[in-house]
Structure 1
Amino acid sequence: MLIILPPSETKSDGGRGAPLDLAALSFPTLTPIRQRLAAALVDLAADPEASATALGLGRTQLDEVARNATLYTSPTRPAIERYTGVLYDALDVGGLTRASRTKARDRLAVGSALFGVVRAGDPIPAYRLSAASRLPGLGTLASQWKPDLSAALDDLDTDVVIDLRSGGYRALGPVAGSIEVTVLTENADGSRSVVSHFNKHHKGVMARTLVSTRRSVRDISSLASVVADGGQRTEIASDRELVILTD
């Protein structure tokens, strides 16, 4: 089982790891693309105004440009500790047992506009780049990642891929046969609506359940059962879509 988490725009500072070594990251077939994007991002950081435009930053966010400027020299930390925010608060890797933290490193990956996808333990620096960004001279990020990212993910030796990425990040590298998750609110009258902000929380809770369980997940039925045992209400929409229902 592999669970692909969405990244977050917010990231923790610092770290104790050595500076970024792209060749040491998981999915080494993606190294040439990572090198191209990283070089473009560092070059762009030399012009703060151009960076702000390309990355969609406001005047109060120019410190993000400084992060990109030091991409190759700043310290790293495991990806699962680098990303922050609602989903990662709910996952709470630091609060897991030692056994579950080991499972988290084995079972979790994170989608990334800059790195394509990284394993939970891959050491990465803080940076700013989103799926919708356009780096000068390179066009859309989807045009850079296709078809290599999908090929790398399709080549995984795992029974089930659970793709929790948002649509923009899935578009960078769709995974054939993966299971996607939709979070819906069920209202008192029986109507349903898509959960926006808090869908990240519910996906984080789901990911925590999946790295804590001793049960095997082989298909969507066993996935629904494990997630339900974790306290979430589930519904199988199709053989490739699991719905989490909230009140």
Structure 2
Amino acid sequence: MLILLPPSETKAPGGDGPPLDLGVLTAPELTEVRTEVVEAVGKLAGDVPASRAALGLSPRQDAEIARNAELWTGPTRPALERYTGVLYEALDVGSMTRAQRARAGRRLAVGSALFGLVAGDDPIPAYRLSAGSALPGLPTLRTLWRPALAPVLAAVEDLVVDLRSGSYAALAPAPGAVTLDVLSERPDGSRSVVSHFNKAHKGRVARLLASSTAEPGDVVGLRRLLRRAGLHVEHDGGPALTLVVPAP
């Protein structure tokens, strides 16, 4: 089972890993595009006003640009420990047992505007680049990534659970993947999507799937696993599942 997560805008600083080495990241087929994007982002960091415009940053966020200037030289840490925010707080890899953490490292991967895709244990530096960012002199990130990333995702033989947000799913499709919608249900029966709530519950689902000893092979097995965990999951027979949770 492969669980695809969205990245987060916020990243944990520092790390004790060696500087970035694209050669050790998962999916070496992506190295050429990774190199092109990393070089472009690093070069852009030399022009602070241009970086602000391209990355949608304010002067108060210039530290993010400084991080981009050190992509090749800054320390690294595993991807699952680099990304922060609501989803990753709910995932909470730091509280996993050693066995659970090992499974999480194998099963979880993160969609990335900078690297295309990174495995949970891939060592990466802190950076700032979103799927919607426009790098001067380059095509859109979707145009850059799709030809290289789509074949990588298409070649995955295990069940894929795609929890990526729309902008990252648009970088390349994951054929046949199971998707998960999260709906908040009010006492009157009405339902809605709440972004913050959605991220937290996807993080909890990712934790459950990453740490479980079960290995579902299809959407029915996945639905069964989630229901056994006490989750209210609806399934219309297609590749999409709907997780219904009480409104906060």
TM-score, normalized by the shorter chain, greater than 0.5:
yes
Match of 2:166 in 1: 167
Q: CA deviation at 1:148?
A: 1.4
TM-score, normalised by the number of residues in structure 1: 0.97
**In the alignment, residue 173 of structure 1 is paired with which amino acid?**
A
How do 1:69-218 and structure 2 match up within 5 A? 69-158=69-158, 160-218=159-217
Aligned length: 246
Alignment-mate amino acid for residue 191 of structure 2: R
Q: How far 1:229 moved relative to its partner?
A: 2.6
- What residue in structure 2 maps to residue 47 of structure 1? 47
Q: Distance in 2 between matches of 1:243 and 1:166?
A: 15
Match of 2:163, as an amino acid? L
2:229 alignment partner in structure 1: 230
CA distance in 1: counterparts of 2:188 and 2:235, whole angstroms = 21
Q: CA deviation at 1:214?
A: 1.7
Which residue is 2:32 aligned to?
A: 32
Alpha carbons 1:34, 1:115 under 8 Å: kept? yes
Change (3 A) 1:76 1:100: same
- Report deviation, 1:65: 0.2
Q: Give the Cα separation in 1 of the matches to 2:217 and 2:96.
A: 23
Tell me the alpha carbon deviations over residues 152-184 of structure 1, each in whole angstroms, 9 at most, x when there is no partner.
Answer: 1111232x1000000000000111101111000
8 Å contact from structure 1 (residues 113, 131) kept in 2: yes
- Answer whether contact 1:11 1:84 (CA < 8 A) is retained: yes
| Gap runs ≥5 in structure 1 | none
Give 3-state SS (helix, strand or coil) of 2:64's partner.
Answer: helix
CA distance in 2, matches of 1:205, 1:224: 15
Calculate percent identity across the aligned residue pairs.
Answer: 54
Task: Say which is worse superposed, 212-221 or 12-21, in terms of deviation.
Answer: 212-221
Aligned partners of 1:102 and 1:151: how far apart in 2? 26
Paired position in structure 1 for 2:242: 243
Could you tell me the TM-score, scaled by structure 2's length? Answer: 0.97
Structure 1 position 211, deviation (Å)? 1.7
Distance across 2 between alignment mates of 1:66 and 1:169: 24
Shift of 1:6: 0.6
Structure 1 runs (4+) greater than 6 angstroms displaced: none
Q: How far did residue 218 of structure 1 move?
A: 1.0
Deviation at 1:197, TM superposition (A): 1.4
The yes-or-no answer on 1:22 pairing with 2:22 is: yes
CA distance, structure 2, for counterparts of residue 64 and residue 131 of structure 1: 16
Separation (CA, whole Å) in 1 of partners of 2:63 and 2:211 = 36
**Distance between the aligned counterparts of 2:58 and 2:229, measured in 1?**
40
Aligned to 2:60: 60
State the distance in 2 between where 1:237 and 1:193 align: 18
Change (3 A) 1:195 1:238: farther
RMSD of aligned C-alpha atoms?
1.0
SS at match of 1:226: helix
What 5-or-longer segments of structure 2 have no aligned partner?
none
CA distance in structure 1 between the partners assigned to 2:129 and 2:185 by the alignment: 34
CA contact (8 A) 1:209 1:226 kept: no
